[in-house]
């Protein structure tokens, strides 16, 4: 039986094969953040001469790309990208996701919004029937932390400050357990409208277009329902 690390390596390699047809001398790829994205970057480096560079969703990923000799572009320099590749903490059959376990949710959402398609790469443990077992990360402006937490409690959540953590944007993360996420896009909009919220880790209004899911039987490709 393959370990979770081996499954991640397998799906990272599959993701590189998926993006190869989009590569070209003028192409900038979007790259996410996390342990699976790290493996994707490592595998992508073997093809660094086939594309222009990458836009990263975190300082961590930017450093890893640069270490492999891949040019990293500020997103303000990028007009568009054919594809953005990133992992997920949870994903349902509709390719709605919870992201932000690594704290890069806001930049992930921004970079993904510039790409023509979002490809989620994950191992089979991330596929769930309903989102919410993984606490929902919410990036907040520090002065609003307590007021946002009170609003989340009224929604049935149990928010907890991610202690000692500051995002690349200089903000804080509330990890919220106990939310009943029946309609992910509606909850995403509701939370994002709370004053002081930068963004929440629900990716449902604009979820993944394609998911590559590593299983013991191989890598499955799932598509977002139209």
170 is in an annotated binding site: no
Q: Is 226 annotated as belonging to a binding site?
A: no
Residue 35 assigned ligand-binding role: yes
Using CA of residue 175, residue 181, residue 187, residue 188, what is the dihedral sign?
A: positive
Does the annotation place 34 within a ligand binding site? yes
Q: Specify the DSSP class assigned to residue 220.
A: E
Q: Is 33 annotated as a binding residue?
A: yes
Of 68, 26, 77, 78, residue with least CA distance to 47 = 68
Check the annotation: does 178 bind a ligand: no
Is residue 36 part of an annotated ligand binding site?
A: yes
Helix ranges, the chain (H): 4-19, 35-44, 59-67, 105-114, 145-154, 184-192
Measured distance CA(35)–CA(177) in Å, rounded: 22
Active site residues: 108
Q: Which residues are annotated as a binding site for substrate?
A: 33-36, 86-89, 99-102, 126
């Amino acid at each position: 039986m393959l370990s979770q690390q081996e499954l991640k390596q397998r799906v990272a390699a599959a993701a590189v094969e998926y993006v190869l047809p989009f590569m070209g001398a003028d192409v900038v790829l979007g790259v996410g953040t996390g342990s699976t994205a790290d493996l994707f970057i490592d595998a992508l480096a073997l093809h660094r001469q086939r594309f222009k560079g990458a836009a990263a969703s975190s300082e961590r990923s930017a450093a890893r790309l640069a270490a492999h000799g891949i040019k990293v572009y500020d997103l303000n320099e990028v007009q568009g990208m054919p594809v953005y590749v990133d992992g997920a903490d949870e994903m349902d059959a509709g390719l709605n996701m919870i992201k932000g376990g690594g704290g890069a949710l806001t930049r992930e959402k921004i970079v993904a919004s510039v790409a023509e398609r979002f490809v989620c790469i994950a191992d089979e443990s991330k596929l769930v029937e309903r989102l919410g077992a993984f606490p929902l990360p919410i990036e907040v402006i520090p002065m609003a932390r307590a007021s946002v937490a009170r609003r989340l409690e009224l929604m049935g959540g149990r928010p907890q400050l991610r202690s000692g953590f500051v995002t690349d944007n200089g903000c804080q993360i509330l990890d919220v357990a106990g939310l009943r996420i029946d309609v992910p896009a509606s909850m995403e909009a509701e939370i994002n409208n709370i004053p002081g919220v930068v963004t929440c880790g629900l990716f449902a209004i604009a979820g993944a277009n394609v998911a590559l899911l590593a299983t013991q039987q191989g890598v499955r490709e799932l598509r977002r329902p139209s």
